[in-house]
Every structure is written in C-alpha cells, then in structure tokens.
C-alpha cells in the first residue's frame, strides 16, 4: 500500500518515546500519516487525546479504527500493512517479551518522574526513589542482555533507540552502558530512525 492510500492519524507529542516507536515504523514503511500534536500531556482534557480515556499518547486513528497503546498500534500496523512482519513486531519468544516489558517499564517510570518534576512534586519521596531504581535496574538488565539486540534492525531495536534518546535528552540518568550505546549508535544512522529523533 502506498503512502497516498493511507488515512492514518497518530495523536502524539513530538518528544514522546512511546509515540516514536510507532513513528519509526510509519517512516520505515513510508506509510502516509498525519501527526496530531496533543500538546501538554499533563493536561486532563481527554478530547485532546483523541478520546483515549487513559489520557496518554499515542492514539492511532485509521478510518473507522481507533487504537491505543504503542505496542498494540505497532501490531495493528504490521498485521494490516506488512503482515510478513519484517521488523519482528509480533513477538512470541519469552525472552523478547521480557525485553519489551523491561523497556516499557523504564519508559513509564521516566515519564512519571518527568511529570512529577514538571509539576513541582518532591521526587525525593520513596515512591519516586523506587522509580529511579526501576530505571537503573532496568538499564543494568538490558546491558546484561544486550545480545538480544542482534541481527538486522527490528522493532526491539527501535524500542531501545526511543528509550535511549529520550533518557539522553532529559538527562535523568547517566548512560554508561557500552553495549547498548554501541547498538544505538549503529541504529541511529538509519534515515527512518533519524527522522523522529527528539530535538
């Protein structure tokens, strides 16, 4: 399916790492789409989130189809537009499911910390200290299991790049992870990865 045949709208924010996972797929596959910037994710106006009751990004609209959650959107795009699954989106292997879960957990913890700081919340409280530990332990685990990021670029790699670039942009943690950094550097030269890098 060519770019002009699609009617995809992705409701997101320009720097959202969850949204970027989807944007990389859209760009890699040259699927025509409209990006709709919902503005401040700390706002509580659900209409700005394309009706997502969780008031999070991204949300995908494809004609009559409405879908939330970045990984669900990635699966839908794969099944609808590239059912051969060239980027290994449709996971079944337990080790890769764990890989994805750890990355999502790190990303979610970072979002909570960033929103807390943005709204003036004291992040020295135990809850936020636990989130910081979640990020540190998660990155340690990813570094120890960096061999799972191997072979041709796939959705797990895109997930890693989105996580890494977001952490680097907001400088919440020191990114001293040699194997992960090497993989990110390798992937960052891909045009469809560079296109959505946070600026």
Give ranges for CATH 3.40.30.10 in the chain.
3-81
Report whether 163 contacts 107 (CB < 8 A).
yes
Compute the mean pLDDT over every residue in the chain, rounded to the nearest whole number.
93
Instruction: Give the per-residue pLDDT at 52.
Output: 85
The first and second tokens of residue 60, run together, are 């995908």
Tally of residues, the chain: 199
Report whether 106 contacts 135 (CB < 8 A).
yes
Give pLDDT tens digits for 132-158. 999 999 999 999 999 999 999 999 999
Distance CA 189, CA 33 (A): 23
**pLDDT greater than 60 at residue 5:** no
β-pair type (8-12, 59-62): antiparallel
Report whether 153 contacts 87 (CB < 8 A).
yes
Q: Taking the CB of residue 7, how many other CB atoms lie within 10 A of it? A: 13
Instruction: Give the per-residue pLDDT at 84.
Output: 97
Report whether 33 contacts 6 (CB < 8 A).
yes
How would CATH label the architecture of 3-81?
3-Layer(aba) Sandwich (3.40)
Determine what percent of the chain falls in helix, strand and coil, rounding each to the nearest 5: 55, 10, 35
Distance CA 125, CA 108 (A): 18
Q: What residues contact 144, with CB distance under 8 A and at least 6 apart?
A: none
**pLDDT greater than 60 at residue 12:** yes
**pLDDT greater than 90 at residue 49:** no
Is the pTM here over 0.95, yes or no? no
**pLDDT greater than 50 at residue 2:** no
Q: Which residues pair with 33 in a beta bridge?
A: 8
Instruction: Give the per-residue pLDDT at 199.
Output: 86
> 163: closest CA among 110, 115, 89?
110
Instruction: Give the per-residue pLDDT at 40.
Output: 73
The predicted model gives 118-124 an average pLDDT of 91
The predicted model gives 79-89 an average pLDDT of 97
Q: Taking the CB of residue 97, how many other CB atoms lie within 10 A of it? A: 11
Give pLDDT tens digits for 91-110. 889 999 999 999 999 999 99
The third-level CATH classification (topology) of the domain covering 94-194 is Glutathione S-transferase Yfyf (Class Pi); Chain A, domain 2 (1.20.1050)
**pLDDT greater than 70 at residue 66:** yes
Report whether 90 contacts 79 (CB < 8 A).
yes
Give ranges for CATH 1.20.1050.10 in the chain.
94-194
Q: What residues contact 71, with CB distance under 8 A and at least 6 apart?
A: 21, 100, 104
């Amino acid at each position: 399916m060519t770019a002009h045949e699609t009617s995809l709208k992705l409701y997101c924010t320009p720097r959202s790492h969850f949204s970027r996972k989807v944007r990389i797929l859209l760009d890699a596959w040259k699927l025509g789409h409209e990006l709709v910037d919902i503005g401040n994710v700390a706002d509580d106006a659900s209409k700005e989130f394309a009706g997502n009751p969780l008031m999070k990004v991204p949300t995908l609209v494809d004609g009559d189809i409405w879908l939330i959650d970045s990984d669900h959107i990635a699966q839908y795009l794969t099944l609808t537009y590239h059912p051969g699954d060239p980027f290994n989106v449709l996971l079944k292997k337990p080790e890769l499911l764990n890989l994805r879960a750890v990355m999502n957990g790190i990303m979610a913890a970072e979002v909570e910390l960033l929103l807390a700081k943005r709204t003036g919340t004291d992040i020295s409280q135990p809850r936020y200290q636990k989130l910081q530990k979640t990020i540190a332990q998660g990155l340690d685990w990813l570094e120890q299991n960096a061999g799972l990021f191997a072979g041709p670029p796939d959705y797990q790699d895109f997930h890693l790049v989105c996580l890494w670039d977001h952490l680097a942009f907001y400088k919440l943690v020191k990114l001293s992870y040699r194997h992960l950094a090497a993989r990110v550097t390798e992937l960052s030269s891909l045009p469809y990865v560079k296109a959505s890098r946070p600026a």
